[in-house]
Amino acid sequence: ATKADVANIRPQSIGTSIPRREDPGLLTGRTPYIADIALPGMLHVAILRSPVAHGRIVGVDLSAARAMPGVELAWSGADVAPRCAGIMASLDQKGFVATVQPLLAQEEVCFIGEAIAVVVATSRAEAEDALEKIDIDVEEIPVVATVDAAMTTGVLANAKVPANLVYRSDRVTDDVSDAFGAAAVVVEGCFHTPRVSASPMETRGFVARHEWTTGQLTCWAATQMPSFIKTMIAIHLQFPEQQIEVITPQVGGGFGQKAHLHPEELLVCLLAIELGRPVRWIEDRQENLFRATHAKQQVNEMALAVDQEGRFLALRDRVTTDGGAYNSLPWTHLVEGHCGILVVTDPYRVPALAAETISVATNKCPIGAYRGVGFSAPTLAREVLIDRAARALGLSPFEIRRRNLIREEDLPYTTRAGLRIREGSFLATVDRLEAMIGYEAFRERQESARREGRYLGLGISIFSEISGIGTRALNFLDFPITSHDTATVRVEPTGKVTVTTGIVTAGQGHLTTLAQVAADAFGVPAEDVTILSGSTSHAVGFGTVASRSAVFGAGTIGRAAEMVRAKMRAIAARLLQAAPEEIELSGGMVHVRDDPGRGLPFASVAGAAYFAEGTHPEDFDPTMEATAAFDPADIVLANGGHAAIVEVDVATGQVRVEKMFAVEDCGRMINPMIVEGQIRGGMAQAVGMVLLEELIYDDNGQLITTTLQDYLLPTALDVPDIEIAHLETPSTLVPGGIKGMGESAMISAPAAVAGAVNDALACLGVTIEQFPASPRRVFAAVARAERT
């Protein structure tokens, strides 16, 4: 067997919306987060962060801070440098400029909020008081506050990044000039997507305890990637990996922000080792806004050439990403623009593609992963342009998409960027969305509203999502990383099932859905299965990122369960006097396939394995557990579409989202309720990104949105009713036919909202290409149109 083998799982519990077992703990506040960890003798960390965007550190005087009450230790960059050189983020790609991010700045600080010094004290309050006594002498140097400045001024944002250029890529460079020359319609735009923060409800946090007698380093981390963090601690601190355990009690949301190795995590380990006492760091909300990773800020200069019938001839895209001062590990600056151009034509037949991406360093917080990684911005630009082309040709937005989407007979279809699309229900998605919306009726309503001075708009977006990301998908995206997960499945003597997994849950409900998978693998009820997750001592895994957990959960559990099933079949065959191949597990029984009456309860067969040697076939190995790895044989693509109806108040510039729609095809759903919860959450974030959220830096590189009063997250008041429909095209690459979907709404719902705003204003000749479409921007655009 190979790690890509697809074991058979017959859906039974899969497909049902059983309640989430994590909810009683979450809803009653009994589930612990990092800030709930209290260890005897624990000390607390406060971090001094740079008040300037760019400077040379002349001196850091810690003497007064060290003399403050309760202070156990104070360090600056000079103290840390001999212990750890910093986080080296490199990629084996031609032209990629690696960066080293020190845990505490040494000679240079490169953005507001970069850590300069740290204090450890008996309480957080004492640590914060001591921070105020630290005397820092930082000589300010010129700031690179924008992409334009990065590319024109000659000032370097980070002395180690020549010309401020971290990466330039032109992997797809078809000659598109003929296509553009021959086009009946060319639509183009310059789309700005904002710098946003994933803003998880629980901020980052890390507790470390080093037991000097045993050498054990135990860490409690709010992370999506515990196994990765464990290995990175070992490598960066040259610490024996077998003596590290990373525990994730419950992660209060991550959305990509916690899918990195953060400098603070290594720093807290060093402090715990140095002090021989447990050390805790909890990020506050302000730190989260200016120092946890930012995301998505980029400009897509895109053009689409279309013929008279509305068929796409070519697409051109030039993406410039404002990536901040360093690369985050492991995703680097490539996480946005570069991934984006590789998926930019996604579900459409586009015969020619010329795409270029550059990523530049600025004196801003480094960007990192955020739900919809790479996809959100180019999808928004593409879908808004498709709507514009439809208007120019007098086609409906559904019709133009129908004419260009990949059809059944095109499969497998390889995009110009080299993405092989094996399956997808693209046309069915469009038809379904059109029916849900009631397109004709909407246009009539839009017309009559307009006569009353009200501006309604409809936007739609079609996507496919690279889900269940493993080695194949990572390599396609130019991350030369091999990834697999393992799970261990054990049948207990009483017939209950214990599964250990490397998957860590950040709110997705894996303890429930993975139990459903394991239940179906053995034909037992889900309540007979327990999922153990949350510690690196359980199993290995790449982490809960890139919509991979459903796929990897099903793959690892499916394969490990198959090994244990074979043992159950061997015993049952002997007891029932049948051949092992004839034995099946279902309905809590182990029985002869075509004769369910000839069977034994699952628990009896399990018990026989442990307690009745006489039932064992010759040479039987009674290890009733197995560990298996999984990594899909090819890229697992889910697909779907979104739509939004908005109303724009042209007198105030205010946009209200009236209703949103989603069609999701993630293959077979494990738990439809959880899938719908994922969609709703992502759609709320889409409303935030397109209408509200923006991290704003001024010309000096000062972040001016440092509270949630300035950085506007969507609330229940901003998120409308959401109607959801499902298509189910099972994947052949994954046990149970499952595909991932955790990012889908942030991949394509932003495009739907942006398209709806543009549709509402099209009759005024107004286009909106800069987001968020705040009242100020919309109002100004309408006023500009009225003047001309």
Going by C-alpha positions, the residue among 459, 478, 481 that lies closest to residue 470 is 481
Smallest separation, CB 783 to ligand SMO (Å): 37
CB atoms under 10 Å from CB of 240, counted, come to 10
Smallest separation, CB 372 to ligand SMO (Å): 7
The verdict on 371 binding ligand SMO (CB under 6 A) reads yes
**Number of shown-chain residues binding ligand SMO (CB under 6 A):** 11
Neighbour-count burial of 555, counting CB atoms closer than 10 A to its CB (0-12 exposed, 13-18 middle, 19+ buried):
buried
Tell me which of 146, 298, 345, 671 binds ligand MCN, using CB under 6 A: 671
The verdict on 674 binding ligand MCN (CB under 6 A) reads yes
**Which range of residues in 108-116, 137-145, 733-741, 777-785 is near ligand MCN by CB under 6 A?**
733-741
Tell me which of 89, 390, 666, 752 binds ligand MCN, using CB under 6 A: 666
Please tell me the total number of residues recorded for the chain in this structure.
Answer: 788
The verdict on 685 binding ligand SMO (CB under 6 A) reads no
Tell me which of 669, 684, 695, 719 binds ligand MCN, using CB under 6 A: 669
The binding track of 359-398 with respect to ligand MCN, each residue x by CB under 6 A or -, is ------------x---------------------------
The verdict on 510 binding ligand MCN (CB under 6 A) reads yes
Residues 694-753 touching ligand SMO, rule: CB under 6 A, are 743
Which is closer to ligand SMO, CB of 239 or CB of 370? 370
Going by C-alpha positions, the residue among 416, 319, 309 that lies closest to residue 358 is 319
**Which range of residues in 73-81, 434-442, 500-508, 640-648 is near ligand MCN by CB under 6 A?**
500-508
Going by C-alpha positions, the residue among 34, 219, 112 that lies closest to residue 704 is 112
Is the alpha carbon torsion for 150, 151, 153, 158 positive or negative? positive
Which of ligand SMO, ligand MCN, none has residue 738 at its interface (CB below 5 to 8 Å by kind)?
A: ligand MCN
Q: Which amino acid is at 363?
A: N
The verdict on 678 binding ligand MCN (CB under 6 A) reads yes
Tell me which of 55, 102, 194, 256 binds ligand SMO, using CB under 6 A: 256
Distance of alpha carbon 786 from alpha carbon 781, whole angstroms: 9
Name residue 490's beta-bridge partners.
498, 625
The verdict on 130 binding ligand MCN (CB under 6 A) reads no
Going by C-alpha positions, the residue among 760, 762, 757 that lies closest to residue 456 is 760
Residues 6+ apart with CB under 8 A from 242: none
Integer-rounded Cα Rg, in Å, for the chain is 27
Smallest separation, CB 508 to ligand SMO (Å): 10
The verdict on 33 binding ligand SMO (CB under 6 A) reads no
Distance of alpha carbon 774 from alpha carbon 661, whole angstroms: 22
**Which range of residues in 171-179, 294-302, 739-747, 758-766 is near ligand MCN by CB under 6 A?**
739-747
Q: Look-up: residue for tokens 């990373």?
A: 246
The verdict on 370 binding ligand SMO (CB under 6 A) reads yes
The verdict on 745 binding ligand MCN (CB under 6 A) reads no
Smallest separation, CB 293 to ligand MCN (Å): 12
Query: What φ, ψ does residue 242 adopt, rounded to 5°?
Result: -65, -10
Run of H or E including 89? strand 87-89
Is the alpha carbon torsion for 49, 52, 57, 58 positive or negative? negative
Tell me which of 145, 266, 353, 546 binds ligand SMO, using CB under 6 A: 546
Question: Please, how many CA atoms are within 13 Å of residue 618, restricted to the half-sphere of its CB?
Answer: 0
> Do 181 and 285 contact (CB within 8 A), yes or no?
no
Burial call 695-711: b when 16+ CB within 10 Å, e when fewer:
bebeeebbbebbeeeeb
Which is closer to ligand MCN, CB of 313 or CB of 369? 369
Tell me which of 43, 511, 545, 749 binds ligand SMO, using CB under 6 A: 545
Q: Look-up: residue for tokens 């260009």?
A: 404
Neighbour-count burial of 413, counting CB atoms closer than 10 A to its CB (0-12 exposed, 13-18 middle, 19+ buried):
middle
Residues 197-226 touching ligand SMO, rule: CB under 6 A, are 224
The verdict on 689 binding ligand SMO (CB under 6 A) reads no
The verdict on 321 binding ligand MCN (CB under 6 A) reads no
Residues near ligand MCN (CB under 6 A): 200, 253-256, 371, 467, 506-510, 513, 544-550, 666-667, 669-671, 674-675, 678, 681, 738-743
Residues near ligand SMO (CB under 6 A): 224, 254, 256, 259, 369-371, 373, 545-546, 743
